[in-house]
Amino acid sequence: MHKETDFVVIGSGIAGLRAAIGLSQSKGQVVVLTKDRVSESNTEYAQGGVAVVLSDDDQVDLHLTDTLEAGAGLCDESAVRVLVEEGPKYITELINWGTSFDTQEGKLLFTKEAAHSRHRILHAHGDSTGREIVRGLLAHARTIPQITITPHAITLDLILEANQVVGVKYLDIESNELCYLYARSIVLATGGAGQIYAHTTNPEVATGDGMGMAYRAGARMCDMEFMQFHPTALNVVGAPNFLLSEAMRGEGGYLINSDGKRFMDKYDKREELAPRDIVSRAIVSEIRHTHSNQVYLDVTHLKSTYLRERFPKIFLTCLKYNYDITKDFIPVSPAAHYIMGGIRTDSFGRTSLAGLYAAGEVASTGVHGANRLASNSLLEGLVFGARAAEAALEDNLDKIKIKPEETVGLTSDSYQLDKNIRLQISEIMWRYVGIIRSANRLKTAISQLAELAEQPLNLVSRNYVEVAQMIARAAHYREESRGGHYREDYPARNDEEWRCHTIDQLRKDLSKELLN
């Protein structure tokens, strides 16, 4: 089926919904495609909160400095300044639209997380911030008649004409119908790729689809080697890698080893509040040193009533697996959490392809550098989702519909991610392209992934394979350690050679790009 609209947004997390709301200002029709239920996205699983300068003792320049420091010398400062300066405006807008953040005596309640110099993290319902933001954005979007939200729509590929993205191919799961949707502009807000790894905090939908589609269309990809591993995911047999929020350490939680002793002071003076990459590697090192399988998060010294009120979702989830956070040490281990790289964009979400914009985790704006500062991701999705919409409206591209005979060859089985491929790749990535890397392990991964890529694959499986290959290639290319990318054969940071972005583009060799 061939359809037309004015704008298409792929993804219904914070970036996608904010982009859709922005695009609706043109009075044109906006179609939001999402491959699961409308609220299923990484945003919904964001517990810790959103970082923003709204408290009396905070300053924009402090937020800027904290972000740059966490990014390990690889942030684009101009993009970070956009984030921290415009963030308060968009959070205030959310509040005005009905999003309810936690308060105390009528004032917004802020907490502190790792690598932040101030208490600037807003949260909602204790540890359900992302869910509340999605609720608020969805409620507002549904009041706008120009926005149509289509759930259970599996986007398969971008439609190209003369190096311009003019539409998308997607499968409507409910009708099992293949659709070709043409528009003036496409905004990719498909989220991350944590499911590329065997152990991840990400939901099932985070398989890197948008990155794979954009790469295959010829878009420039940036810094794909930088995967952030969250230090504290629940590590219990039979339980999912449920995220134990950074805020638990921000509120005073300790990491202890199998001997019941704190250990972070051996690895960093900031101890439990060091950046995530440092804490994750410290946990791996401590597990090796103590010849054990895990470490523990200890919050038992904090008041039990406070813990139940501050972290209600975490409390109930851990209790489900027979751990009471008010009494028990919680077994934790790192898990793939957030990819700092993605589709290279400017500060308004424009990609290297006309008609294609990207925002949120799927994009690489340069905000996060080599290591994302905790709770900056929700703010990034909000700010740059709005800016991508602004750019699409300003560019005002013509709608181009190509002949139907040029868009053939897809069948209804093109949406299924091959389970065997998924299992093999996630294990390869965890084993060889994980928290600690080396040339030999990366070469093994690249070779094994290449063999899998030679198999006949549908488009969804092809996206999955290609994203894994991009991460492995970039990790092998960058011969240094920085932020979320650690090479034990190149353990030092090398600013002289590698203070630059890495660029991967279809049919081109990997290259370096100087910082903005």
Q: What share of the chain is helix, strand, coil (3-state, %, to 5)?
A: 40, 20, 40
Q: What does the alpha-carbon distance between residue 78 and residue 294 come to, in Å, rounded to a whole number?
A: 40
Q: What's the CA angle centered on 148, arms 89 and 352, to 5 degrees?
A: 65
Q: What does the alpha-carbon distance between residue 366 and residue 80 come to, in Å, rounded to a whole number?
A: 8
Q: What does the alpha-carbon distance between residue 422 and residue 449 come to, in Å, rounded to a whole number?
A: 11
DSSP letters of 64-114? HHHHHHHTTT---HHHHHHHHHHHHHHHHHHHHTT----EETTEE-EE--T
**Residues 335 and 197 sit within 8 Å (Cβ to Cβ):** yes
Set 81, 249, 276, 387: catalytic member: 276
Name the β-bridge partners of 171.
154, 178
Q: What does the alpha-carbon distance between residue 128 and residue 44 come to, in Å, rounded to a whole number?
A: 8
DSSP letters of 344-367? E--TT-B-SSBTEEE-GGGEE-SS
3-state secondary structure of 169: strand
| Cβ neighbours for 39, distance < 8 A, ≥ 6 positions apart | 12, 131, 134, 135, 138
At residue 290, what are phi and psi to the nearest 5 degrees?
-95, 0
- To the query of whether residue 276 is one of the catalytic residues in this protein, the response is yes
Give me the residue label for tokens 């899998």.
Answer: 452
Q: Kindly report the number of other CB atoms within 10 A of residue 268's CB atom.
A: 15
Query: In which order are the strands placed within the sheet that holds 50-51?
Result: 50-51, 121-122, 110-111
Tell me which residues are annotated as active site: 276
